[in-house]
Amino acid sequence: MGNAMTPFAIHGVQMTANQKNDVVGDSKAPPLSPNAAALRDAVDQANAMVAESAPKLKVQSVAASLTAATKKTTALPPDSCQQYIWLSFFFDGTGNNLDADVGTQKHSNVAKLYRAHTPTTRSNGIYGIYIPGVGTYFKEVGDDGGSTLGLGTGRMGDARLDWALKQFDKLLSPHIARAKSPGNTIREVNVALFGFSRGAALARAFSNHLLRDRCTQDKQGNWRLKNGGYRLRIRFMGIFDTVASVGLPMSTNNVSVVATAFGVKQIIDTRLLSRNYIACWPQALAYAKGAAPGADPAPGVYDGHSDWGGLMAIPHMVEDVRHFIAAHELRNSFPVDSVSVLVDGRVAKPEQFHETVFPGVHSDVGGSYRPGEGARSLDGRAKLGLIPLHNMYQLAVDAGVPLLPKTAWGENQFSDFDMDPSMLELYNYYQSKVRGMSNLGPLMNAHMSLYYAWRFRAIRRKANGDSSEAAAISRKSNEFQAERVTLDQQIAGLGKKNDAAMRALSQADARRTAYLQSNYGNPDLPDLKAYDQKIAEAKSQYDMTKDELLRAKAKRDALPDMTKFASLVQMYDQQLLADVQAIRQAYTAKGLFGGAPNTGKRQELRPHYRALMDAYENEYIHNNGLKDEKIISFFDNLVHDSLSGFAKDATLPSDPRVVYLGGDEKYKYAMIEKKPGADVLQYASVDQKNPTEAAV
């Protein structure tokens, strides 16, 4: 009957838990405590985790969109002055910035959904709040953007979180003041949260902070604002491929600090040659007794869940959670945080929490590649990220989020959502090949099986002289480099302008100081005001030129750099072949004294690695590799190579992706002390004192 699912309740929240918890665990980890609240889990360990395959997509008509957009709107009498407030927060992904990406067709799905939101108006109480991604320019929090710490560790994510919470207070304040009049009471405060990558992590952290700091729960279980007692509902959370990686990320565990100074090749070589990382060698990861799942390519103390990154467990009071996971992502620096958690030793999530696997890598699902970046999706209307965008838009509208119906769309919205029908047809065909599975591990392995079949075919074709990919990479790299030259020239001019403004400000301040000194500290008040006015004018000019400069730098930071991409693709191709040979050695090599190979060893391959080896042997040993032209076209044209585009950690192309459950700090394997009050912080909507027992 497959994985039997037993429902149980945690304070009124319907949950599902898998009874086959023997498949959840890690052979390298100590036994789980029965009440462990979190577990990091490799993809092929995750057989117990319910997940949905991304649906086939049919683009909805304008009329249907209008109907869906209005059907859940709360009705009030025409003359009612009662208030229904709606605040939608949009947390963009690492390196994604609404302003910097204008005109590049690079906007993330979060930015596009923000642009499709009903315009902010106090009169109807609807607000859309956009938060630029970490590592990008965000004037309001003092982030100049482009910092290595911002991009690599999520620095200034806490500043974005604080700013969003203050916006909640600021926007709600006039409505609370108005509600002091009895006829203007606030009936509900509704919240929607969207996020991608670290922005998705921020959205999850925001939900916990909002409940912990600004709300309390009444006897009926409803959440109410401490300020006024008005009911608060988090109606919808739409998140794309959550990656926390706050502080030192998980990938730090298998990276030599010394090797980082010499580039990615040395980083990988150190992982594969140093006995400090023997547990991370592919031949060690690939096998387990009974082929038990559980490969962990980066075990160790670092988990990327520092500070706000430790607030990944979503409160159960969120009424509709939609999490879209990237099927083909595998970078150690980008482990995904599932919406499932471990409760009393069981993988569980409320019934209204949905996790859906979409084909593509991290930014294919988040939607933020430039057309032609990585020699994929040369037409902006043929980007794979448009599929999850359309899905999330419709799910949000169905949940009552005040997104604009298509009848009210303008040029920006139609451009953001425009999709090539042939790409949609190709996507739907691909999806027909990975159906029939409902658990995360097998589903992701099915996607990776097709990917590896395509990858080995591509490697073999390139070895036989096919240079089409290299030529496409070269063309796009040259285009982006020409664009970079133009931006560099613009930045140089703006830099000079900003330097001049800074000198003018310094001179204005010096003249004021000299005036004070010449008058022995007894200045004429009108004269002093005149000097102050000059300083204010100079400061305003300096602020303006600095803003112009940082905006231009943000555009340059967002520009793809493909100068090394072709060589990195080749390096990872060769590394994948080397990984396979290291794994195959265990069951193909002859014995020490010339005996027969240990062919039975192959039966111990973990599920992820079995898919890898099947794909390799079908292509190279049996000459029966991938021949489906539509699947080949799907990968050739749509799925990006995020590993070659990143190349900053020790990820091997044979590694499985890592999945976290709820927050790693409570699990002894992470070797981090349990933080006081962590239960309250992570599970704001669950009474931890009296956990409900699971029904048998």
Asked whether residue 74 is domain-assigned, the answer is no
Which pLDDT score, from 0 to 100, does residue 60 have? 56
Q: Which of 184, 183, 164 is nearest to 174 (CA)?
A: 184
182 confidence band (pLDDT: 50, 70, 90): confident
Asked whether residue 510 is domain-assigned, the answer is no
**Choice between 33 and 625, residue whose per-residue pLDDT is larger:** 625
78 confidence band (pLDDT: 50, 70, 90): very low
CB 137 within 8 A of CB 96: no
| Residues sharing a CB contact under 8 Å with residue 442, sequence separation 6 or more, in sequence order | 47, 607
Taking the CA atoms of residue 519, residue 521, residue 524 and residue 525 in that order, the dihedral angle to the nearest 10 degrees is 160
Which pLDDT score, from 0 to 100, does residue 153 have? 66
Which pLDDT score, from 0 to 100, does residue 43 have? 47
Which range of residues forms the domain containing residue 272?
20-33+79-468+600-676
Q: Which of 203, 158, 304 is nearest to 245 (CA)?
A: 304
Work out the mean pLDDT of the chain and round it to a whole number: 82
DSSP assignment of 573-620, as one string?
Answer: HHHHHHHHHHHHHHHHSPPTTS----GGGGGGB-HHHHHHHHHHHHHH
Asked whether residue 257 is domain-assigned, the answer is yes
C-alpha separations of 41 from 233, 295, 369 in Å = 31, 9, 28
User: Residue written as tokens 């963009």?
Assistant: 92
Asked whether residue 353 is domain-assigned, the answer is yes
Asked whether residue 153 is domain-assigned, the answer is yes
Which pLDDT score, from 0 to 100, does residue 693 have? 25
C-alpha separations of 399 from 191, 318, 320, 359, 524 in Å = 11, 12, 7, 24, 64
| Residues sharing a CB contact under 8 Å with residue 333, sequence separation 6 or more, in sequence order | 245, 249, 250, 251, 646, 648, 649, 651
Provide mean pLDDT across the span 674-686: 36
Q: How do residues 260-302 score in pLDDT, each as one tens digit?
A: 888 999 999 999 999 999 999 999 999 999 888 878 888 888 8
Q: Is it the case that residue 533 has pLDDT exceeding 70?
A: yes
Which pLDDT score, from 0 to 100, does residue 552 have? 85
Q: Is it the case that residue 7 has pLDDT exceeding 50?
A: no
Q: What does the alpha-carbon distance between residue 390 and residue 60 come to, in Å, rounded to a whole number? A: 9
Backbone angles phi, psi at 356, to 5 degrees: -125, 135
Backbone angles phi, psi at 281, to 5 degrees: -70, 145
The secondary structure element, H or E, covering residue 130 is strand 126-131
Both tokens of 619, joined, read 């292509």
Asked whether residue 290 is domain-assigned, the answer is yes
Both tokens of 193, joined, read 């949260």
**Choice between 31 and 262, residue whose per-residue pLDDT is larger:** 262
Q: What is the largest CA-CA distance in the chain?
A: 102
Both tokens of 416, joined, read 């953001």
Provide mean pLDDT across the span 124-132: 95
Q: How much is the CA Rg of the chain, to the nearest whole Å?
A: 27
Which pLDDT score, from 0 to 100, does residue 679 have? 36
Asked whether residue 613 is domain-assigned, the answer is yes
| Residues sharing a CB contact under 8 Å with residue 520, sequence separation 6 or more, in sequence order | none
Both tokens of 128, joined, read 């859309």
Which pLDDT score, from 0 to 100, does residue 13 have? 40
Residue type present at position 70:
T
Q: Is it the case that residue 530 has pLDDT exceeding 70?
A: yes
Both tokens of 357, joined, read 């696997």
213 confidence band (pLDDT: 50, 70, 90): very high
407 has which bridge partners? none
Asked whether residue 651 is domain-assigned, the answer is yes
CB 212 within 8 A of CB 313: no
Q: What does the alpha-carbon distance between residue 611 and residue 388 come to, in Å, rounded to a whole number? A: 26
The secondary structure element, H or E, covering residue 178 is helix 157-178
Provide mean pLDDT across the span 169-195: 94
Q: What does the alpha-carbon distance between residue 586 and residue 602 come to, in Å, rounded to a whole number? A: 8
Number of Cβ within 10 Å of residue 575's Cβ equals 20
Which pLDDT score, from 0 to 100, does residue 29 have? 24
If 0-12 CB within 10 Å is exposed, 13-18 middle and 19+ buried, where does residue 1 land? exposed
As for how many domains the chain has, the answer is 1
Q: Which of 371, 410, 333 is nearest to 655 (CA)?
A: 333
Which pLDDT score, from 0 to 100, does residue 421 have? 94
Q: Which of 581, 559, 504 is nearest to 536 (CA)?
A: 504
3-state SS class at 70: helix
Which pLDDT score, from 0 to 100, does residue 50 have? 65
C-alpha separations of 565 from 464, 476, 534, 585 in Å = 20, 11, 51, 30
Least confident of 136-145, 330-339, 375-384: 136-145
Q: In terms of residues, how long is the chain?
A: 696
Beta strand 346-350 with 321-326 is: unpaired
Backbone angles phi, psi at 420, to 5 degrees: -70, 120
13 has which bridge partners? 10
User: Residue written as tokens 């970046």?
Assistant: 373
Q: How do residues 240-264 score in pLDDT, each as one tens digit?
A: 999 988 878 888 888 887 788 889 9
**Mutual angle of helices 565-588 and 607-620, in 10-degree steps:** 100
Q: 189-206 burial string, b = 16+ CB within 10 Å, else e?
A: bbbbbbbbbbbbbbbbbb
Q: Is the dihedral of CA 441, 443, 444, 450 positive or negative?
A: positive
Which pLDDT score, from 0 to 100, does residue 51 have? 67
Provide mean pLDDT across the span 450-463: 98
Which pLDDT score, from 0 to 100, does residue 38 have? 33
Number of Cβ within 10 Å of residue 126's Cβ equals 18
Count the alpha carbons within 13 Å of 215 in the hemisphere toward its beta carbon. Answer: 25
Provide mean pLDDT across the span 530-552: 90
Q: Is it the case that residue 396 has pLDDT exceeding 70?
A: yes
- C-alpha of 496 from chain center: 37
Q: Is it the case that residue 188 has pLDDT exceeding 80?
A: yes
Q: What does the alpha-carbon distance between residue 508 and residue 520 come to, in Å, rounded to a whole number? A: 19
559 confidence band (pLDDT: 50, 70, 90): confident
Q: What does the alpha-carbon distance between residue 157 and residue 153 come to, in Å, rounded to a whole number? A: 9
Least confident of 177-186, 538-547, 548-557: 548-557
User: Residue written as tokens 């994985």?
Assistant: 3
The secondary structure element, H or E, covering residue 458 is helix 440-463
3-state SS class at 321: strand
Q: What is the DSSP letter of 473?
A: H
| Residues sharing a CB contact under 8 Å with residue 277, sequence separation 6 or more, in sequence order | 254, 270, 271, 650
Provide mean pLDDT across the span 102-110: 93
User: Residue written as tokens 């300096």?
Assistant: 542
